A and B are shown apart, each in its own frame.
Chain A
Amino acid sequence: MSTLAYTVSDSRVMLRRNLKHQLRYPSMTLMLIGMPIVLLLLFVYVFGGQLGAGLGVHQGRGAYLDYVVPGLMLVTVAAAVQGTSIMVAMDMTGGIIDRFRTMAIARASVLTGHVLGSFIQTLAAMGILIGVAFALGFRSAGGALAWLAVLGLLALIAFAWIWLAVALGLAAKSVETASNTPMILFLLVFLSSGFVRTNTMPVGLRQFAEYQPFSPMVDTVRGLLTGAPVGDHAIVAIAWSIGIAIASYLWAIRLYNRRRAADPT
């Protein structure tokens, strides 16, 4: 086999291992997949009546459902990558990583396994969220092409945050730290245009909300799903995603190699 064939084969083996871990750790997997659903129900049925009243032209709980789904799609990503950090940190603090490092396997395959595994988990969670949203009455004005664009963009966004989560998991000294740091992503989604219009926020917060990466991501998805023009949000969202993905990837690889040179004990 060639080097490339080995890389593919080793990555596939690591991916299978990661998916098995997800199944063996059902409480975490279910929690990460279930959380966005719980938030969806909470935001639509508890807060939705009141929040929907402030939406402007189309008002009410149903309108708020349409409004909030893009935000929850990004919550889904943020929740899933929390699992990525935990899994990576568990791997790095456990003994088996040392075994992998003494074996002639493709170097990046350990990380690739985590990234692909999380990617699949995120897609599954996203599918469930969209299914539940439709069941609750969510309707989209976007056509097939718009949906394709939404899924493509979400995949790119997930890819970026997953690499960041991998780096955070590598940087964490303990599994606890690894499960806490990605909470910041969660907070960022709430401090974006995901749940309320940013122009209802106080000035300082509003500026922050408008310039952080989640807002253009939410706005692009929302625009595509409602059939509204997305303007330059799309470009900004894609630029953020690619930037985060590249920076996180480089950071993760550096951390991974440094752990190899130094001693983890």
Chain B
Amino acid sequence: MTGRPGMRGIVATDVCKSFGNNLVLDKVSLAVDEGTIFALLGPNGAGKTTIVRILSTLIQADSGDMRIAGHDVVTDPDGVRALIGVTGQFSAVDNLLTGTENLQLMADLRHLSPDAGRRRVAELLEQFDLTDAADNLLSTYSGGMRRRLDLAMTLVGQPRVIFLDEPTTGLDPRSRLTMWEIVRELAAAGVTILLTTQNLDEADQLAGRIAVLDQGRIVAEGTPEELKNRIPGGHVRLQFAGPDSLRQAAGLLPASTADNDRLVLKVPADGTVDSLRQLLDGLHQEGIAAERVSIHTSDLDDVFLAVTGSHVVHGLEAGGSDVESTQEGVAAR
């Protein structure tokens, strides 16, 4: 089954929420089609968890209209709860029970028949690669296993709409890929998914639409392609030994921008090997020696820079500054 085209799994209109004097959500609106993945991208403190908690009936908004598959979150919370599954930012598992018991608890609370419950539990243990650890207490589980169990518990009742609040934060790369695979399969099966993340790549990989949330406001929204078109592409950073070679190189590469204090030249580049070779060959032919070269790919900070005009000030998971997000640094002489 896939989602009925055009049917809305989640609609939020002008949602506002303050904690005391702190306006945390400022007229946030979003709409997620059935059977699609929608990513809410934003740094720490942007309000991601707050909107998830509001949409999943945990806390009340100050104003706004929220509907899950047509059910009003405010007037029909139980109708909403029967449809949704939530995997919060922090693990929501019972640490004094085993993996099986945790899942069985969910099956019982979803009122599955004993047979159906047992089948579903076994199925999920298998799907989430937890069968071996099924009868161990959670105190023996790793972070990745705990996260997988958390999501498995969410899926016991086969919810039609799922909220995933930073599902891969803190996971190792392999567990992250596993999680992505599971999320894709769910959407393919027709489940509507709202996920939050601090990671542009994750949003890009998974979501059909992305909204960028900054200090409680949605500052950009669109398909990954639309958003990426608004971000300046990647660039190559060249580090020089002295101001002379920097000046020479800058003269040779008119599209570049020079940072005279740090002796760094930023050259727009598309990240292909050919363009890098051309760049380095060009410098070599002119006899200009660069000390170091590094390649910078677009990240969340670029999105923020592009749509808000300012850098992300809060701590970002993958680091926001140029230097930290530099990938595949190559030394060249």
Is the beta-carbon distance between A102 and B101 smaller than 8 angstroms? Answer: no
B93 touches A96 (CB 8 A): yes
For the complex, is B204 an interface residue (Cβ under 8 Å from A)?
A: no
Binding-face segment, A13-21, A122-130, A187-195, A211-219:
A13-21
- The answer to whether the Cβ of B31 comes within 8 Å of any Cβ in the partner chain is no
Give the CA-CA distance A95 to B58 in the complex, in Å.
13
A17 touches B97 (CB 8 A): yes
Q: Is residue A204 within 8 Å, beta carbon to beta carbon, of the partner chain?
A: no
Segment at the interface with A among B82-90, B189-197, B240-248, B286-294: B82-90
* Contact with B82, one of A21, A100, A104, A261 (Cβ below 8 angstroms): A104
A143 to B64, CA, bound (A): 66
Count B-side interface residues using an 8 Å CB cutoff. 33
Q: Judging by beta carbons under 8 Å apart, are A13 and B105 in contact? A: yes
Given contacts A262-B59, A263-B59, contact A96 B108 (CB under 8 A): no
Cβ-based interface call for B119 (8 A):
no
Chain B CB within 8 A of A10 CB: yes
C-alpha gap A103/B56 in the complex (Å): 9
Measured CA separation A164–B333 after assembly (Å): 75
Contact of B92 among A95, A105, A261 (CB under 8 A): A95
The residue of chain A having its C-beta at the shortest distance from the C-beta of B79 within the complex is A104
B58 proximity list for chain A (CB < 8 A): 98, 101-102, 260, 263
**Quick check: B81 and A104 within 8 Å, CB to CB?**
yes
Which of A17, A102, A260, A262 makes the CB contact (< 8 A) with B84?
A102
CB of B91 within 8 A of chain A?
yes
CA distance A24 to B108 in the complex (A): 20
Interface residues of A in 76-104 (CB under 8 A from B): 94-96, 98-104
Chain A residues with Cβ below 8 Å from B56 are 102
Q: Is the CB of A24 within 8 A of B81?
A: no
Which residues of A lie under 8 Å from residue B108 when comparing CB positions? 9, 13
Considering the complex, give the chain B residue whose CB is closest to the CB of A101: B58
Contact A17 B105 (CB under 8 A): yes
- Contact at B111–A6, with CB atoms within 8 Å? yes
Is A1 at the interface (CB under 8 A from chain B)? yes
B109 within 8 A of A: yes
Asked if A96 and B109 make an inter-chain contact with CB atoms under 8 angstroms apart, the answer reads no
Whether A9 lies near B81 (C-beta < 8 A) is no
| Complex: chain A residue closest to B78, CB-CB | A104
B109 contact set on A, CB distance < 8 A: 10, 13, 100, 103, 105
Closest partner residue, chain A, to B49 (CB atom): A265
In B140-199, which residues have CB < 8 Å from any A CB? 153-154, 157
* A99/B86 in contact, CB under 8 A: yes
Name A98's contact: one of B81, B84, B88 (CB within 8 Å): B88
Closest A residue to B95 by CB, please name it. A94
A1-B111, A17-B97 known; A99+B78 contact, CB < 8 A? no
Q: How many residues of A contact B (CB 8 A)?
A: 25
Which B1-31 residues have a C-beta within 8 angstroms of A? 19
Residue pair B82, A99 in contact (C-beta under 8 Å): no
Q: Which residues of A contact B93 (CB under 8 A)?
A: 95-96
Does B137 lie at the interface of the complex (its beta carbon under 8 Å from any beta carbon of A)? yes
Residue of A nearest to B101 (CB): A20
Q: How far is the CB of B242 from chain A (nearest CB, A)?
A: 52
Q: Which residue of B lies closest to A261 (CB)?
A: B60
Of the candidates B96, B110, B137, B153, the one having the most CB atoms from chain A within 10 angstroms of its own CB is: B96
Determine which of A94, A103, A263 lies in contact with B81 in the assembled complex, contact meaning CB atoms within 8 Å: A103
Interface status of B94 (Cβ within 8 A of chain A): yes
Cβ-based interface call for B57 (8 A): yes
User: Looking across the interface, which residue of chain B has its beta carbon closest to that of A20?
Assistant: B97
Task: Check B96–A103 contact: CB distance below 8 A.
Answer: no
Chain B CB within 10 Å, residue with most, of A10, A17, A21, A105: A17
Contact between B111 and A102, CB atoms less than 8 A apart: no
B217 at the interface (CB under 8 A from A): no
Give the residues in chain B near A100, CB-CB below 8 Å: 109
| Inter-subunit contact B105/A261 (CB<8 Å) | no
What residues on B are CB-neighbors of A9 within 8 Å? 108, 111
Enumerate chain A residues within 8 angstroms of B118, measured Cβ to Cβ: none
Question: Does residue B311 face the partner (Cβ distance < 8 Å to A)?
Answer: no
In whole Å, how far is A265's beta carbon from the nearest beta carbon of chain B? Answer: 8
Query: How many angstroms between the C-alpha atoms of A56 and B56 in the bound complex?
Result: 66
A21 and B153: CB pair below 8 A?
Answer: no
- Contact in complex: A261, B153 (CB < 8 Å): no
Q: With A and B bound together, what is the CA distance between A99 and B85 in angstroms? A: 9
Q: Is the CB of B111 within 8 A of A96?
A: no
Chain B: minimal CB distance from A99 (Å): 4
**How far, in whole Å, are A150 and B96 apart by their CA atoms in the complex?**
35
- Complex Cα spacing A10 to B92, Å: 18
B19, B57, B88, B111: the one contacting A99 at CB < 8 Å is B88
Q: Residues of A contacting B106 with CB < 8 Å?
A: 103
Measured between alpha carbons, how far is A102 from B95 in the docked complex, in Å?
Answer: 19
**Residue B228 interfacial (CB < 8 Å):** no
**Closest chain B residue to A99, Cβ basis:** B92
Beyond A25-B96, A102-B56: 14 further Cβ-contacts under 8 Å? A6-B111, A9-B108, A10-B109, A20-B96, A99-B92, A102-B58, A102-B86, A103-B109, A104-B78, A104-B81, A104-B82, A261-B59, A263-B53, A263-B58
**CB pairs A–B below 8 angstroms (25 shown):** A9-B108, A9-B111, A13-B108, A13-B109, A20-B96, A21-B96, A24-B96, A24-B97, A94-B95, A95-B93, A96-B92, A98-B86, A98-B92, A99-B86, A102-B58, A102-B81, A103-B106, A103-B109, A103-B110, A105-B109, A260-B58, A261-B59, A263-B19, A263-B58, A263-B59
